[in-house]
Amino acid sequence: MVTFSLPSNGLGYVLSVVVICAGIRLFLTFLRWTEGCAKPAPRPSYWGLVWGFKSGANENDYFQPFIVGLLELLVYPALLAAGKPEYVAAWLGFKVVPRLGAWSTHRETYQRFLIGNALVVVASYFLQRCFYA
């Protein structure tokens, strides 16, 4: 049985998670937005992408990656503090395996996906060190 401890400052923890997740979202959206620079089609609005809507195409994410990242940032530090990093690794494996084929057809999207996951893992380590130590 896995036992989890609560962070030392619950409100500060949740606020930190939301701010970090928003920062990751803004950075990944910037990467997505700059991918359109080399294409002749007009680029979508940056803020439209931030909020999950891309004008003129069916590539809306409806803010779902932000929600998944938020949940990961809430749970990963607790798992790391409990000494169960294998659960984090298993979840990452479940996320990466279905996207492996995207490497050859949508390289930028797949790299952005990997960067986002790496940022969440690194941020989780620092959240664990700050709030669970």
- Under DSSP, the state recorded for 44 is P
Specify whether the CB–CB gap between 113 and 92 falls below 8 A: no
Q: Which domain holds residue 99?
A: 16-131
What pLDDT, on the 0 to 100 scale, is given for residue 64?
A: 85
Q: Has residue 46 been placed in a domain?
A: yes
Q: Could you tell me what percent of the chain has a pLDDT over 70?
A: 85
> Is 11 inside any structural domain?
no
Neighbours of 105 (CB within 10 A): 8
**Tally of domains in the chain:** 1
Residue 34 tokens read as 């700059």
Q: What is the mean pLDDT of residues 75-86?
A: 93
Q: Evaluate whether residue 33 is within a structural domain.
A: yes
Supply the pTM of this predicted model: 0.84
The stretch 101-126 carries a mean pLDDT of: 88
98 inside domain = yes
* Residue listed under structure tokens 């949940």: 71
Per-residue pLDDT tens digits for 1-59: 556 666 778 899 999 999 999 999 999 989 888 876 666 666 677 787 888 776 545 56
Residue 7 lies in a domain: no
Position 4 in a domain: no
pLDDT at residue 51 in the model: 82
In a domain, 5, yes or no: no
| pLDDT of amino acid 80 | 92
DSSP-derived secondary structure letter, 73: H
Asked whether the CA dihedral 63, 69, 75, 77 is positive or negative, the reply is negative
